[in-house]
Structure 1
Amino acid sequence: MAGGAGTAGVEREFEALGARVRLHARCVDCGHRTGVGADLPVILASVVKVPLVLEFARQAAYGQLDPAERVVVRRGDRLGGTGTAGCWDDVEMSLRDLALLMMSVSDNTAADLLFRRVGVDTVRLLVRELGLTATRIAGSPRTVLEKVLAEVGAADPAAFAAVYPTLSPERIRALPTLDPPRTNSGTARDMTRLLTLIWTDRAGPARACRWVRDLMARQVSWHRLAAAFPEEVAVAAKSGTLPGVRNEIGVVRLPDGGRYAVAVFAETDSLRQRRPDLDAAIGAAGRAAVTELRGCCGRAAGQTPPSVSG
């Protein structure tokens, strides 16, 4: 549905910041929803780690893999960013600790190794099973990076790091990572559907869904969606960031028990990395959507959740 009283001004607020916004929010319990541009394609960036960790948790719950399985993260595995990328030496840890780093600090190498373990095709099948019809899984972080290296003629990540500062803004915006048909992409509506299925234990075994919810609650970064709410409001979220792209999806749980799945995707022509104004706008947009939906539910305790449509 179109934005109502709470979200009517969201587009204008982002336009004033030189950005475009795609927003969708829905009550987890009754399905009432609101949005702005909710069906337009968006770049998932690290938000893709949510379906990835869900597939990992499902395979663990089904006994298809052992989450305690040990993995060595070697220098050649590292993709930059946070987490293991900053380690001097090889690191050995379990698969579930890779999942923790992937979700808490958005470790790209951890995501790549988990994609390798569970299978990219399996994650593609998962999004189809869950009815995320507009979501596209192009590949693991390494696969996406390799497309970029090929695009600019860089032999390896080090060569790309050297050439990147010489690229024009137009050249950067034309890279595969910033083109929805060539990278991991979806829609804001698909992402709130995914969150609703996870929060109602319908995305897989209940223990797998619980595990994903716990991992999302451990995200270290709180300066987007969570920053817009007081401390008594619980927020479990996953952010995603690329040049010109700032995203966050999550579930907001109010003290009265209301639960709201929120997805906010912002794009800007500016490639500046530090945009606290956009981070604050993402949180404000999420808060506006939740405010609009409050009081929508009236769902009796123990009632079967509605089907997740739209």
Structure 2
Amino acid sequence: MSRRIPDADASVVQRIREVFADAGCSGWLHARRCDDSPAEVCVGGRDRVVTASVYKLLLLVAFCRQVDEGVLDPAARLTVDPAHCTPGPTGLAALHDPITLSRRDLATSMMTVSDNAAADVLLGEIGPAAIAALVTELGLPGTRVVGGTADLHRSLVRETDTPSVAAAFAALADTDEAWTVSAYDPAYASATTPAEMTALLEALWSGRVLSTGSTAFVRSVMSKQVWPHRIAAGFPHRGVVVAGKTGTIGVIRNEVAVVEFPDEIPVAVAVFTRAARADPILPVVDAAIGEAARIAVTELRRPR
């Protein structure tokens, strides 16, 4: 069981809180080393928060578990028609013609560019019960996945009383409105805690969750995520590997990651935020995620 870092380092927690306050957002953070150390940095890290697309990490692990068990062939090929898949700005939904690719490549697109369509296809392949079983097995009581992106989109259209997904997101982005939708509420949406996400990452990096091959696959695809504007922005140093997964919806901006400096113990960090404004692009909040992560990881860095 981990414990809070010593009281002498309480200034670290205060600095992180100030970063969130300066950015005009609420923030929750947890960080721990990927070893057996009890040290942690915790800023509301045991509160439940909305996952947004961070749920795709759980989906990836559940998929890899079924591959390890011989239930699914990762190389089996599926054909997806973009005209009939979940909308999204990246990945399969941005294409024009049917495409055939493997389950493993679906998982790669889901993680590297946060591909909504690929995620929903993969969720249909493994089923939500597989994620629920994984969460129970790993002892993550605050974590649950209530559906995929298509389910989320349907609820947004219904709750904003709009005719389409695009119209629903436009309504959420209207700064003259203050929407209260289930997608923002961890009591209704897919949810977790920052501490449970770092526990999952630590277990993954230690090799306790998946086979050696699947562990390497997870690390590889997470390190290829294309978004550099959140946690990775806090570590613009040669040789540092940031393996992460972002999550964004409306006022929610998140990322969980493992940060690895050369010859040092990797550090898992999870940052979840809720902005005061609903602007679709809020670089000040993205930067705050990177800065908060930098402060926390710096506190926990140790040589191997």
TM-score normalised according to structure 2 size: 0.91
In the TM superposition, what whole-angstrom CA distance separates every residue of 1:118-165 from its partner, at most 9, and x where no partner exists? 111110111111111111211111122222223234465366467667
Q: 2:108 and 2:32 mapped to 1: Cα distance?
A: 27
Match of 2:52 among 45, 48, 69: 45
- Name the residue aligned to 1:282: 289
Q: 2:178 and 2:195 mapped to 1: Cα distance?
A: 29
- Name the residue aligned to 2:73: 66
Q: Helix, strand or coil: the match of 1:274?
A: coil
Unpaired stretches in structure 1, ≥5 consecutive residues: 300-310
- Name the residue aligned to 2:245: 238
Aligned pairs, how many?
295
Q: Helix, strand or coil: the match of 1:9?
A: helix
Match of 2:134 among 111, 117, 126: 126
1:208 partnered with 2:207: no
Q: Which runs of 4+ in 1 moved over 6 A?
A: none
In the TM superposition, what whole-angstrom CA distance separates every residue of 1:57-90 from its partner, at most 9, and x where no partner exists? 1111221011112222221113222111111122
Q: Helix, strand or coil: the match of 2:187?
A: helix
Amino acid at match of 1:38: G
Q: 2:166 and 2:98 mapped to 1: Cα distance?
A: 19
- Name the residue aligned to 2:120: 112
In structure 2, relative to structure 1, the CA distance for the partners of 1:162 and 1:255 (3 Å cut) is: closer
The correspondence of residues 121-270 of structure 1 with structure 2, limited to 5 A, is 121-154=129-162, 156-157=164-165, 160=168, 169-171=177-179, 174-229=180-235, 230-270=237-277
1:54 partnered with 2:61: yes
Match of 1:13 among 13, 19, 32: 19
Q: 1:59 and 1:169 mapped to 2: Cα distance?
A: 43
Whether contact under 8 Å (1:149, 1:155) holds in the other structure is yes
- Name the residue aligned to 2:100: 92
Q: 2:60 and 2:288 mapped to 1: Cα distance?
A: 27
In structure 2, relative to structure 1, the CA distance for the partners of 1:163 and 1:76 (3 Å cut) is: farther
How far is 1:282 from its partner?
0.9
Q: Percent identity?
A: 38
In the TM superposition, what whole-angstrom CA distance separates every residue of 1:189-212 from its partner, at most 9, and x where no partner exists? 010001001001111223222211
Unpaired stretches in structure 2, ≥5 consecutive residues: none
1:103 partnered with 2:111: yes
RMSD: 2.0
Whether contact under 8 Å (1:234, 1:254) holds in the other structure is yes
Q: Helix, strand or coil: the match of 2:63?
A: helix
Q: Helix, strand or coil: the match of 1:169?
A: coil
Q: 1:154 and 1:208 mapped to 2: Cα distance?
A: 41
Whether contact under 8 Å (2:175, 2:277) holds in the other structure is no
1:83 partnered with 2:91: yes
Q: 2:274 and 2:94 mapped to 1: Cα distance?
A: 28
- Name the residue aligned to 1:307: none
Q: Helix, strand or coil: the match of 2:70?
A: coil
Amino acid at match of 2:100: E
1:33 partnered with 2:33: no
TM-score normalised according to structure 1 size: 0.89
Q: Helix, strand or coil: the match of 2:12?
A: coil
Amino acid at match of 2:21: E
Q: Helix, strand or coil: the match of 1:123?
A: helix
Q: 1:33 and 1:163 mapped to 2: Cα distance?
A: 39
Amino acid at match of 1:21: G
In structure 2, relative to structure 1, the CA distance for the partners of 1:5 and 1:145 (3 Å cut) is: same
Q: Helix, strand or coil: the match of 1:272?
A: coil
